Amino acid sequence: MNTDLQDLKYKELTEKIIKIFYDVYNKLGYGFLEKVYPVK
């Protein structure tokens, strides 16, 4: 990430959101293989 967290207006909230994202990502993985997604 290019943005320093010290420069963010809502630093604590942003850190919590990022932590929750990574917790979910690590638990569920990166998603399905491309062939599972519908073709538009």
Domain positions in the chain: 5-36
What CA–CA distances, in Å, run from 36 to 27, 29, 31, 32, 33?
20, 15, 10, 6, 6
Residue with tokens 């943005």, as numbered in its chain: 3
Residue 9 amino acid letter? K
Amino acid symbol at 35: K
pTM above the 0.75 mark?
no
CA distances from 25 to 5, 10, 17, 39 (A): 21, 22, 12, 24
10-residue averages of pLDDT along the chain (40 residues): 66 93 88 67
